[in-house]
Structures are given as C-alpha cells and as structure tokens.
C-alpha cells in the first residue's frame, strides 16, 4: 500500500519535470532558429537596400543588386559543409554542444558584418571580407536548424510531433518579425544617416540575442532517446557515410521537400522588397511593414498546420502546400504587380502563411521521421541544407529573370510552379511518416505491392 501511495505521489512530480524540460527545449529550439533567421533576414534586407550602394558601388545599379543578392546565396554553399561537420559531432558527441557552437558562431559573424568597413574605405577588400564572413556564417547555420529540429522532435510526445516541431519554425516567424521591425526603424532614418551608420544597428544588436541563446541552451539536457542510443548501440565513426549508405533516397527527398518553401520564403523576405522599391518607387520601410504582417500571420498558422499534420499526416499537408503553391503562383504575381500597397501586403501574407507555412512548419517532424536516431542530426542537416542553395540564390536568380523579361514579374510565378511540382513529387516519394517509431534502427527496404512500389521501414 505504501509503495502504491509513494508511486502515486511521485507521478505528478515526474510529469511536472517532463513538461518543464519539454517547455525549456521548445524555447531553446525557438530561440536558436530565431537568432538564425534574424541574422539572415537583416542580411537579406541589407542586400536589397544597402550593400549595392556601400560594398558594390563601383558597379552599375542592376549588376550591383545582382552581386549583392549573390552574397546572400554564397553562404548556402558552405551550409552543407556545416551540416556535415555539425551533424558528425552532433551524432557522436551530442546535440547540446553543437547547438551552443552554432548559435555563438552565427551571432558573432552577424556582429562582424555590422563592423565591416565599406568599399569607399578599403576598396575591394570590403566585399571580400563580406563574403568571407557570410561563408563562416553559412557553416554555423548548416548545423543549427538540423540540431534544433532533432532536439525538439526527440523530446516531443509521439502524437504531437507536428505541433511541437512548429516551435523550431516559429523562430523563423519571430526572426522575420523582429529583424524586419529593426530594419524598418533603421531605414526610417534620413537616408544619409541610414547609409552611413544606421544600417549597422540591427547587425550589432545580434550580440544580445546571441548571449540569450547561449544562456538558454546551457540549461537543456541531451534527449533521453539519444542518450539511450549512445548507451546501447555502437557509435558510428562517420555518420555521414552511414546516412548515405542507409538513407540515400531520404537525403535527396528531404532536400526536395524544402525546395518550394525555400524559394517562396526568400522571395517574400528579400526579393519582393527590392522589386517594389525599384519598380514602384516605394519606400523600403513601407514594404517591410508588409513583411512584418506576413510574419505575424505565421504565429497563428504555423501551429495550426502542425496540428493538422498530427491528424491527417505529414505527406497530406505537404501536398496541400506544394500543389497549392502552383495554384496560387499567379494570384501572388498579380497581387504584387498591382503596385498597390494593400495588394502587396495581401500577396505577402498569402505566400508566407499558406505557401511557406503549410510546408515549412511541419518540416522538423517530417524530415526527422525519415532518419534513425544515431544519424538523425546528420541526415536532417545535410538533406535540408542541400535545398538551401535553391533558396539562397533565389533573389539573385529572380533579379536576373525579371531583368530578362523587361521588368515583368511573370517568370517568378513560373519559378514558383516548377518548385511546387518538385516538392510535391518528393512528398509522394517520401510517403507518410505519421506515427513512425523514432527509437527503431530504421533500414529502408524496397517492397513490391501490386504494381506499385512502396518504401517501408524495417526494425532490425
């Protein structure tokens, strides 16, 4: 009787500790991606509004803008390298150490960008230093998202992975919201002051976010699932080799799943800003308000998409988003091309909350459920960062396409449709992962079922 009473008395305490740890991990995952996207989005805004004038001022305006956007994309070249490095140590040493390292390097690189001298001061060395800093930043980001995703999903209750995974992605929402607000305030300064030193303030402010992120992540523990695998299974010396040997299809499907939302996302937060200020002579801060409204809508829609995926499945929600992007590509094009402020705002909200939100919000659970625990950090990181190249160069490619089309926006709509079809095909190939056991040592096995082929996961 005494034992039963003690167990009953201890049960609420255990549940309370678990919920507290789950909440701490959710916040730690959110704050990391918040810093990541804050850093990246202020760079995206600066690439459209500032860097062509300060770092590439010796070039014709259109060329300067294209090259400036290319520096936004150059970091995506090193992101897969960072994914391999951080994934390796995240799967062998632990998730926590790599998450601390990634947030420190990301924040530090952003502060350095805010301190860089311009072309007028040191000549060609200025853009070279800018590119080097971006490459370093890319290495850190390559390990950040995969680590935060892995940590959150391995802690989340099995029947609510979709919902809890959205906490990682809400970092995107708050990153866009806060960075856009910061840049909108900075760009509201008189133009000469803004170009002189005002643009540096949002970059330098990243040091505060960096220290907050470090403090929070010091308090979290390794996921019990990961500790169990470390204790019971032989450690992989080279997780990258194992993941490509056991899960080659999943790696490239994970990359394809990210293509659509990545392209549309960078159109929303970077290219549309430059397009509207150039073609409609709008003030940058007025367009930035539209980006902020779009980001704010994600606070509501992202968790809803996550909960829907817990009910009807990851693949179903992804197909809604990817095929929906094909149907909404031209309405988005039409709304942006009205030149009306409210039309642009409506287009941004539509693209961010529906097209981006339906896919991006559930990627943590969908991608994590494709890989086994001992190589999950590596698999998720590498797969997701391969697709990052598409998003990173989107603003530069979009600028070239619009220039080629004589200023018309229709090639952008066509690009959205193509990317949506790629992602839809990958969702069909990945299959449904809802309810998958993350503790199993999963091995892809090709199995015939009638005339169709399905990929099942066998537990050894």
Tell me the per-residue pLDDT of 103-142, one tens digit each, with 9 for 90 and over: 899 889 999 999 999 888 898 888 889 889 989 988 888 8
Q: What is the pLDDT of residue 318?
A: 96
CA angle, residues 136, 138, 139, in degrees to nearest 5: 70
Q: What dihedral angle (degrees, nearest 10) is formed by the CA atoms of 176, 179, 181, 183? A: -130
CA 89 remoteness from chain centre: 21
The answer to whether the CB of 253 falls within 8 A of the CB of 426 is yes
**pLDDT for 41-83, tens place per residue?**
788 778 877 888 888 877 777 788 878 877 777 777 888 898 8
Rounded CA-CA distance 367/257 in Å is 9
Q: What is the rounded average pLDDT of the residues 344-370?
A: 93
Rounded CA-CA distance 241/83 in Å is 13
Query: Domain coordinates of the chain in residue numbers?
Result: 2-459
Pick 2 or 406 by higher pLDDT: 406
**Residue 459 above 70 pLDDT?**
no
Q: What is the pLDDT of residue 235?
A: 64
- The confidence band for 13, taking pLDDT boundaries of 50, 70 and 90, is very low
Rounded CA-CA distance 73/387 in Å is 12
Q: State whether residue 442 is helix, strand or coil.
A: strand
CA atoms within a 13 Å half-sphere pointing along the CA-CB vector of 117: 8
- Residues contacting residue 195 through CB under 8 Å, at least 6 positions apart: 50, 53, 54
The answer to whether the CB of 152 falls within 8 A of the CB of 364 is yes
Please name the residue ranges forming H helices in 220-375: 224-232, 239-246, 248-266, 272-279, 284-312, 314-337, 341-349, 357-360, 363-368
Rounded CA-CA distance 209/393 in Å is 26
**Residue 232 above 70 pLDDT?**
no
Distances (CA, A) of 164 to 66, 133, 296, 374, 377: 38, 33, 19, 21, 17
Regarding the domain delimited by 2-459, which CATH topology (the fold level of the hierarchy) does it fall under? Growth Hormone; Chain: A; (1.20.1250)
Q: What is the pLDDT of residue 177?
A: 82
- The confidence band for 7, taking pLDDT boundaries of 50, 70 and 90, is very low
Beta-bridged to residue 453, according to DSSP, are: 448
- Residues contacting residue 88 through CB under 8 Å, at least 6 positions apart: 238, 239, 240, 378
CA 161 remoteness from chain centre: 18
Distances (CA, A) of 114 to 46, 92, 129, 285, 309: 11, 35, 12, 20, 40
**pLDDT for 88-110, tens place per residue?**
888 888 888 898 998 899 889 99
- The torsion angles phi and psi of 447, rounded to 5 degrees, stand at -140, 135
Structure tokens at 398: 């979009």
Q: What is the rounded average pLDDT of the residues 331-347?
A: 89
The share of the chain scoring above pLDDT 70, in percent, equals 90
Rounded CA-CA distance 80/162 in Å is 25
Q: What is the rounded average pLDDT of the residues 202-222?
A: 88
Taking the CA atoms of 410, 416, 419 and 421 in sequence, report the sign of the dihedral they define: negative
The answer to whether the CB of 412 falls within 8 A of the CB of 401 is yes
Rounded CA-CA distance 347/328 in Å is 10
Single pTM value for the model:
0.80
Q: What is the pLDDT of residue 319?
A: 96
Closest CA to 247 of 161, 373, 79, 364: 373
Residue with token string 């391999």? 84
**Residue 453 above 50 pLDDT?**
no
Mean pLDDT of the chain: 83
């Amino acid at each position: 009787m005494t034992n039963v009473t003690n167990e009953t008395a201890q049960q609420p305490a255990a549940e309370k500790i678990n919920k507290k740890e789950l909440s701490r991990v959710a916040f730690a995952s959110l704050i990391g991606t918040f810093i990541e996207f804050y850093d990246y989005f202020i760079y995206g805004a600066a690439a459209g509004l500032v860097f062509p004038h300060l770092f590439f001022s010796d070039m014709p305006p259109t060329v300067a803008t294209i090259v400036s956007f290319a520096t936004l994309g150059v970091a995506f070249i090193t992101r897969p390298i960072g994914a391999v490095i951080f994934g390796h140590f995240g799967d062998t040493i632990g998730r926590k150490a790599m998450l601390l390292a990634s947030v420190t390097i990301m924040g530090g690189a952003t502060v350095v960008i805010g301190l860089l001298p311009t072309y007028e001061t040191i000549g060609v060395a200025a853009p070279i230093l800018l590119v080097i800093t971006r490459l370093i930043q890319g290495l850190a980001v390559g390990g950040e998202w995969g680590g935060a995703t892995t940590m959150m999903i391995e802690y989340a209750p099995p029947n609510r992975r979709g919902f809890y995974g959205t906490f990682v992605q809400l970092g995107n929402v708050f990153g866009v919201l806060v960075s856009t607000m910061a840049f909108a305030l900075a760009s509201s300064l008189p133009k000469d002051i803004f170009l002189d030193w005002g643009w540096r303030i949002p970059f330098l402010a990243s040091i505060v976010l960096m220290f907050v992120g470090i403090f929070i992540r010091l308090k979290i523990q390794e996921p019990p699932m990961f500790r169990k695998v470390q204790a019971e299974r032989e450690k992989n010396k080279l997780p990258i080799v194992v993941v490509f040997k056991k899960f080659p299809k999943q790696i490239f499907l994970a990359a394809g799943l990210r293509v659509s939302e990545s392209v549309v996302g960078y159109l929303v937060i970077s290219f549309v800003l430059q397009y509207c200020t150039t073609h409609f002579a709008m003030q940058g801060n007025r367009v930035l308000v539209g980006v902020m409204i779009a980001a704010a809508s994600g606070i509501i829609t992202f968790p809803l998409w996550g909960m829907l995926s817990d009910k009807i499945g990851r693949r179903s929600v992804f197909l809604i988003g990817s095929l929906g992007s094909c149907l909404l590509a031209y309405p988005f094009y039409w709304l942006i091309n009205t030149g009306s402020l409210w039309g642009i705002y409506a287009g941004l909200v539509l693209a961010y909350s529906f097209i981006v939100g339906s896919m991006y919000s559930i990627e943590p659970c969908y991608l994590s459920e494709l890989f086994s625990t001992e190589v999950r950090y590596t698999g998720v990181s590498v797969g997701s960062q391969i697709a990052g190249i598409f998003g990173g160069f989107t603003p530069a490619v979009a600028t070239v396409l619009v220039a080629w089309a004589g200023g018309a926006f229709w090639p952008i709509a066509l690009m959205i449709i193509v990317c949506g079809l790629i992602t839809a095909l990958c969702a069909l190939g990945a299959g449904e992962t809802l309810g998958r056991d993350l503790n199993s040592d999963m091995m892809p096995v090709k199995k015939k079922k009638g005339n169709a082929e399905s990929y099942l996961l066998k537990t050894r």
